[in-house]
């Protein structure tokens, strides 16, 4: 049985320069938390999400970027209903055994509302700035594969043991393992066909592919299905998610003016190409294209939501009920 369609929204944590109009870091944090609470109040939203980055985009600046797992834990305590996830945790930034321990703890703190995201990592500047080096892609993918196997061992074995090229475990105890059974859902992000999607088939409870492009989503999910068949995994048991950048327009709004008002640090042309821009009807039609491609979970990033919750509320109330 395919999963029912569900939706999540990113909170502003600074990574996309989305808190720069607030000077006080405490007020920035509270603005982020207020968005989480606004999402928590919308029954059509299943989850809130954060990124795992240290330096801003589109380029590194001396601006706030709140750390992923710290805010996951605090947002979990500041909300009541929504799941809280990371899209996605970077395997290179934490030993995967520590990652598993952190996630287990946050799953308990959230009373079982954690989505644990993991990926191979890509942002070279912050890797090097924080002293992690930046292995080439094949090496990062080998680390990623081992990392996922370590996390699985930590969540499933009483005394976890593992011997790999990059990571080892020697009777590691991880108690409690979390609240959810058999363990917190593991969301594996990325569309790599030989490593990432194969790991989803073997260990993932959810994937994130396609960047909101229906044809890319369809292609990646076909490959995932083949990997599932090869390892005897139930393809329908895996959540198939994609992420979109969303600018929801009022009827009759001027598109160019809306881009200028919301683009922030992005050039107007790049913003126009990257974001889904349209009315509720237009956005709903595009979302249906993702559903037709096999997607059953859509995550949206909404610009300037730190300063105005209205676009989030309009998406939740005017668009999402069409898919219930």
| CA-based nearest residue to 84, from 13, 43, 36 | 36
Query: pLDDT per residue over 190-232, tens digit each?
Result: 999 999 999 999 999 999 999 999 999 999 999 999 999 999 9
Torsion sign (Cα): 215, 218, 220, 226: negative
* Torsions phi, psi for 304 (to 5 deg): 60, 15
Whole-angstrom distance, CA of residue 202 vs CA of residue 115: 18
- The pLDDT of residue 52 is above 90: yes
What single-letter DSSP state applies at residue 317? I
pLDDT confidence tier of residue 1, bands split at 50, 70 and 90: low
Helix, strand and coil content of the chain, in percent to the nearest 5, comes to: 45, 15, 40
Query: pLDDT per residue over 263-292, tens digit each?
Result: 998 999 999 999 999 999 999 999 999 999
- The pLDDT of residue 47 is above 90: yes
Query: pLDDT per residue over 236-251, tens digit each?
Result: 999 999 999 999 999 9
- The pLDDT of residue 17 is above 90: yes
Task: Return the structure tokens found at 216.
Answer: 């890319």
**pLDDT for position 2:** 65
Q: Which fold has domain 6-323?
A: TIM Barrel (3.20.20)
Query: pLDDT per residue over 169-196, tens digit each?
Result: 999 999 999 999 999 999 999 999 999 9
**pLDDT for position 3:** 80
Torsion sign (Cα): 279, 313, 109, 324: negative
- The pLDDT of residue 4 is above 90: no
- Show the beta-strand stretches assigned E in 157-291: 160-163, 168-172, 186-189, 206-208, 239-248, 276-278
Report the chain's mean pLDDT, rounded to a whole number.
97
Whole-angstrom distance, CA of residue 138 vs CA of residue 283: 37
């Amino acid at each position: 049985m395919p999963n029912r369609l569900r939706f999540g929204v990113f909170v502003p944590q600074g990574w996309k320069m989305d808190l720069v109009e607030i000077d006080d870091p405490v007020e920035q944090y509270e603005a982020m938390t207020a968005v989480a609470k606004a999402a928590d109040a919308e029954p059509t939203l299943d989850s809130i999400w954060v990124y795992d980055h240290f330096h801003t985009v589109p380029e590194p600046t001396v601006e706030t970027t709140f750390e992923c797992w710290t805010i996951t834990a605090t947002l979990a305590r500041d909300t009541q209903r929504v799941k809280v996830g990371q899209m996605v945790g970077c395997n290179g930034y934490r030993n995967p055994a520590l990652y598993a321990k952190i996630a287990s703890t946050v799953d308990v703190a959230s009373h079982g509302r954690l989505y644990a995201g993991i990926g191979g990592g890509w942002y070279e500047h912050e890797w090097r700035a924080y002293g992690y080096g930046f292995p080439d892609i094949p090496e990062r993918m080998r680390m990623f594969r081992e990392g996922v196997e370590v996390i699985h061992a930590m969540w499933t074995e009483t005394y976890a043991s593992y011997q790999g090229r990059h990571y080892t475990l020697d009777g590691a105890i991880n108690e409690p393992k979390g609240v959810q059974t058999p363990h917190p859902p593991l969301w594996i992000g990325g569309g790599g066909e030989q490593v990432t999607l194969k790991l989803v088939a073997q260990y993932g409870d959810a994937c994130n592919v396609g960047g909101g492009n229906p044809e890319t989503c369809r292609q990646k999910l076909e490959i995932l299905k083949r990997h599932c068949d090869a390892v005897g995994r139930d393809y329908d048991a895996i959540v198939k998610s994609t992420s979109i950048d969303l600018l929801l327009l009022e009827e009759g709004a001027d598109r160019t003016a809306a881009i200028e008002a919301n683009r922030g640090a992005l050039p107007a042309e790049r913003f126009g190409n990257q974001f889904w821009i349209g009315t509720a009807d237009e956005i709903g039609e595009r979302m249906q294209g993702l559903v037709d491609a096999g997607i059953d979970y859509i995550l949206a990033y909404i610009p300037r939501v730190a300063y105005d919750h209205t676009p989030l509320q309009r998406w939740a109330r005017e668009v999402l009920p069409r898919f219930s």
